[in-house]
Amino acid sequence: MEISTIFFDLGSTLVYSKEPWPPIYIQADHAMVGVLQSAGISVDSSSFITEFGGIIQSYYQKQFKDNIEPTTFTTVRDLLIQKGYTSVPDTILLNAIEAMYSITQKNWYREEDAIITLETLKNLGFRMGIISNTSDDKNVQGIVDRLELRPYFEYIITSAALGIRKPDKRIFRAALNHFQVSPNAVAMVGDLLQTDVLGANEMGIYSIWITRRSQKIGDGELAIQPKAVVTKLSQIPSLLDDVNRDLIVDSP
């Protein structure tokens, strides 16, 4: 069966961050706390930001339990509850989180070959979707819209919306169910071996590892093996053309 559908990761695949994150995170966290304080929630900026950052860092320094996604909303709410603020309206929490992400979103840029590659794939008849690990669905949707990527994707699913992170089979299965395709008719493009490639491999999806923004891997054979490796998005159309041609030749 030929590949007809492509799933893309978002961060470090279709988009990239240009400036160092630490000072941006500090600015974003202060924006979030500012909204909380303006709403009458008298948290100490320094301690709240330190504790919030510590929680986020701990999530990413260990395996996520059962691939469950802890959302930013839940993290902020639980931290406020710990500080005695047990009945903060959701609207205030959402406004505070939106203020934070309005800062971080500005550091995401579209890869220079993203549009031309997506346009080529669309013209070739490929259907496309995004599967993104994130702690906030609205933030990802905002990045997609701001960088004018939405016209190329008929389906965008995030771990925050589903509650499940890659490489869990359930998030891939949700995407497969939307497109009503079997795994062997799908390719997955992403920069992380342990989420994008591993998840695709375990589902029987053709895994493409894009290395332009990926972390450096030491010498020796990879513990997780992608089906193909590219250094930039513009290599994908010809790669899939070769893969589909080989599938036609090999078919009985």
Place of tokens 């995401």: 108
> How do residues 198-209 score in pLDDT, each as one tens digit?
999 999 999 999
CA distance 236 to 121: 9
CATH level 3 topology of 5-17+109-250: Rossmann fold (3.40.50)
* Angstrom distance (rounded) from CA 239 to CA 243: 6
CA-wise closest residue to 43 among 75, 82, 100, 99:
82
With 80 as the cut, is the pLDDT of residue 183 above it?
A: yes
Map out the domains of the chain as residue ranges.
5-17+109-250, 21-106
* DSSP string for residues in 85-120: -----HHHHHHHHHHHHHHHGGGEEE-TTHHHHHHH
Two tokens, residue 167 = 């490489």
Give the CA distances from residue 48 to residues 29, 95, 182, 195, in Å, rounded to whole numbers and listed in that order: 9, 17, 46, 30
The reply to whether the predicted model has a pTM over 0.75 is yes
> Which letter does DSSP use for residue 64 in this model?
P
- Cβ atoms of 228 and 206 within 8 Å: the answer is yes
Q: pLDDT tens, 213-234?
A: 987 676 566 889 999 999 999 9
Q: From its phi and psi, is residue 156 left (phi > 0), alpha (psi between -120 and 50) or beta?
A: beta
The size of the chain, in residues, is 252
Per-residue confidence band for 154, with pLDDT thresholds at 50, 70 and 90: very high
- What would the pLDDT profile of 13-36 be if each residue is shown by its tens digit? 999 999 999 999 999 999 999 999
Q: Between 210 and 214, name the one with better pLDDT.
A: 210
